[in-house]
């Protein structure tokens, strides 16, 4: 398992490393995808996303410019654990989730 290394947000065709600069956009996507009330009770607010990204083994991948979707994961040796994935409602059914998961497993 390796982390994707494409340029951040430069194209819709590849995943890129999610950074702290993406936290607010990612939280907004999560809120739209799952409803504000549900997200408020989960760790996937902007602060929660930042926490996951800064955790020792945590990482995130994004896709699209501006951000169309993202995933958060933890690297556990040669394995990875998917913590969260969300695609903006207006960008679904375009294969972005599959691209993100494939990049996570590459």
* pLDDT tens series, the chain, 106 aa: 444 333 333 344 599 999 999 999 999 998 888 776 665 556 588 999 999 999 999 999 999 999 999 999 999 999 889 999 999 989 999 999 999 999 998 8
Residue 101 and residue 71 in contact, taking contact as beta carbons nearer than 8 Å? yes
User: CA-CA distance, 78 to 9, in Å (whole number)?
Assistant: 26
User: What pTM value is reported for the model?
Assistant: 0.80
């Amino acid at each position: 398992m390796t982390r994707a290394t494409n340029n951040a947000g430069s194209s819709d065709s590849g995943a890129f490393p999610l950074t702290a600069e993406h936290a607010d956009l990612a939280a907004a996507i999560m809120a739209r995808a799952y409803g504000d009330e549900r997200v408020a009770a989960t760790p996937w607010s902007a602060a929660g996303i930042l926490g996951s990204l800064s955790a020792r083994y945590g990482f995130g991948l994004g896709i699209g410019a501006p951000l169309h979707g993202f995933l958060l994961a933890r690297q556990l040796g040669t394995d990875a654990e998917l913590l969260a994935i969300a695609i903006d409602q207006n960008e679904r059914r375009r294969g972005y989730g599959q691209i993100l998961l494939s990049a996570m497993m590459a």
